[in-house]
């Protein structure tokens, strides 16, 4: 089986190859008014995995996950400052879609395209065996992870948190 350090070294190359592929992904090219720019931040040491919806415009422009007002709020809720949130290899961010889906003319952003999760999610999670806690931020992340066990609404899902083990 090997020591934890040996396992981490053997898993890291697989994750590095996968992350290179994710960052080079252009599966949605032509569907948006902008060039895809996948944003994901994980390491083989990730213990806390934060799964949001998809990057917003500001994150798309800078390439740093949760570098926007929603990230300020999230870090405040978690009690983490920027240096810990971005500098601790045990904290990872893997949204349901890695690219900004564009602005909806009716307001807000378009929902995360399901294609991204279908292409990458299971492979990425398989490369993160040390995850101990997954924080599902938003209804799309909750429905994907909890599937039929998710509530009728995000509020109902959160209220029933004890049932998800």
* Residue 99, token pair as written in the block: 């690219």
The topology (CATH level 3) of 4-137 is Uracil-DNA Glycosylase, subunit E (3.40.470)
Q: What angle do helix axes 114-126 and 4-24 make, rounded to 10 degrees?
A: 160
The stretch 49-60 carries a mean pLDDT of: 94
| pTM of full prediction above 0.95 | no
State how far the Cα of 2 lies from the Cα of 5, in Å rounded to an integer.
Answer: 8
Helix residue ranges, H only, 31-165: 57-62, 69-78, 82-87, 114-126, 139-146, 154-159
**How confident is the model at residue 10, as a pLDDT?**
57
State how far the Cα of 87 lies from the Cα of 56, in Å rounded to an integer.
Answer: 21
Q: Enumerate the domain spans of the chain.
A: 4-137
pLDDT for residue 61 is more than 60? yes
């Amino acid at each position: 089986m090997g020591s934890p350090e040996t396992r981490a070294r053997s898993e890291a190359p697989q994750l590095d190859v996968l992350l290179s592929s994710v960052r080079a992904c252009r599966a949605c090219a032509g569907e948006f008014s902008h060039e895809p720019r996948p944003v994901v931040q994980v390491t083989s040491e990730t213990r806390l995995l934060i799964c949001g919806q998809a990057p917003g415009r500001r994150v798309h422009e800078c390439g740093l996950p949760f570098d926007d007002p929603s990230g300020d709020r999230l870090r405040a809720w978690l009690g983490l400052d920027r240096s810990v949130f971005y500098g601790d290899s045990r904290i990872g961010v893997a949204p349901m879609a890695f690219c900004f889906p564009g602005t909806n003319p009716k307001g807000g952003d378009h929902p995360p395209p399901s294609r991204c999760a279908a292409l990458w999610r299971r492979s990425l999670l398989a490369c993160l065996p040390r995850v101990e806690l997954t924080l599902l931020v938003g209804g799309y992340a909750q429905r994907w992870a909890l599937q039929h066990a998710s509530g009728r609404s995000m509020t109902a899902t959160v209220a029933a948190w004890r049932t998800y083990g």
